[in-house]
Amino acid sequence: MTNKTDAQQALTLGDRVQADRVHTSLYTDPAIFEQEMDKVFSSTWVWVAHASEIPEAGSYKNTYIGVQPVIVVRDRKQKVHVLLNRCRHRAATVCEGKKGKTNSFVCPYHGWSYSLDGALRGVPHPESYADQLEKGELGLVSLRVEEYAGMIFATMKNDIEPLVDYLGPAKKWMDLFMKQGAGYPIKVAGEHRFRFPGNWKIQLENTTDAYHFPLVHKSFLSSVDKQTEEMLDFVGGSGYVEDLGNGHSVMVMIPQLIDLEENLDAPIPARFAELAEQLRAEGHADQEVRRIVRAVGGSGFNLNIFPNVACSMAFFRVLQPISVNETEIHHAVITMDGGPQVANQARLRLHEHFQGPMGFGTPDDSEAWERVQKGASAGKDLWIMLNRGLAGEKPTPDGRASDVSAETGMRAAYQQWKKLMTA
């Protein structure tokens, strides 16, 4: 009788996600990554843009669904299209650059041209095709697109449920998150982009990981005022993590900042006293000042929307898988479109303070994740433990919840992963 290891037992994909742990191979196996691109990223709703990133007719943004390049574009009738960035002739990309504005997409290789909705408009020297080119069949491949609360999602799976059904209880949190416009429309005003040498799910987990905050972000906490440090001392506090279904989850760190339009009479935090003074000097009424200042500080929660986007306190966190051990992250800053300049400047400075390659937070996260990937190459039969807060997990109207530093959100994401990967 031999005592077989897990690996020798050739675990199925389903076996690799247990109720309280996941197998290390989910971070390290290139074959699993290949399957994820198909069974996860090509089989569900994937976030591609915020509406403010493509504000006008002809505005476009280049991004990826999994590892496939796509163009997100607004046509002349304001309809948003998500098109595979691949000429139907011989596959060259028809659009480059992160963002821009155009009237059409023209392939640089042989000049096939497409309209903003992806339809093939013309090909140079068509006579060689002897009128047999099926132009109607050769438009850029157009994906199904739906939008909620300004967040645009696309899917490669045409028969999937409507976006609003997929989001479910997450919609309520998206609505709450958008209140940080303080009555102005939310505008994405740039982003920090960085990569780390690790699997994409390590970042996915981190958005609902309160447990790491006081340790990994000690240097950030040392750089803020006492009041803010106390506000961010949420591990052990009354916050919670809730599984919202379909892999989505919310981590409420600061319960009093769930709804930014409530508690407007609460004292203005010391760090915003100067901003409040400036807003008053500009003629904003007291309630308006309070509303704007509260919005500038951001929401008290992180909403993880499976698989690739989060509404994280005051910014959008977007993850893009590159390979099994490389991931790109975008931290998009949010401003108030048409809002007071001093308030938007405050938001930009707060974002720079924590985020990005020179921020006081992001590089330390990135270092920790890199260490996870490195460590995961040891003990290939071992498991990633996700059982924190399991004992205290209780049903809620929207799903299940446990304490603020519970790994409930990670368990939720991996159960959705399992559902898609074993479908």
Q: Which residues bind another protein (CB under 8 A)?
A: 98, 189-196, 216, 218-220, 222-223, 328, 333, 341, 344-345, 348-349, 351-353, 356-358, 360, 362-364, 366-368, 371
Q: Please, what is the minimum distance in Å from the beta carbon of residue 316 to another protein? A: 13
Question: Whose Cβ is closer to another protein: residue 239's or residue 298's?
Answer: 298
Contact 299, 313 (CB under 8 A): yes
Q: How far is it, in rounded angstroms, from Cα 8 to Cα 349?
A: 52
Question: Whose Cβ is closer to another protein: residue 120's or residue 279's?
Answer: 279
Question: Whose Cβ is closer to another protein: residue 173's or residue 354's?
Answer: 354
Q: How far is it, in rounded angstroms, from Cα 308 to Cα 317?
A: 8
CA dihedral 72, 76, 77, 78 (to 10 degrees): 40
Q: Please, what is the minimum distance in Å from the beta carbon of residue 242 to another protein? A: 29
DSSP 17: B
The most distant pair of C-alpha atoms in the chain lies apart, rounded to whole Å, by 82
Question: Whose Cβ is closer to another protein: residue 25's or residue 355's?
Answer: 355
Question: Whose Cβ is closer to another protein: residue 45's or residue 196's?
Answer: 196
Q: How far is it, in rounded angstroms, from Cα 309 to Cα 292?
A: 25
Question: Whose Cβ is closer to another protein: residue 81's or residue 347's?
Answer: 347
Please report how the helices 273-281 and 341-354 are oriented relative to each other, as an axis angle in degrees rounded to 10.
160
Please report how the helices 286-297 and 341-354 are oriented relative to each other, as an axis angle in degrees rounded to 10.
20
Which pair of structure tokens corresponds to residue 49? 């843009």
Q: How far is it, in rounded angstroms, from Cα 316 to Cα 308?
A: 10
Q: Please, what is the minimum distance in Å from the beta carbon of residue 230 to another protein? A: 18
Which pair of structure tokens corresponds to residue 122? 């013309």
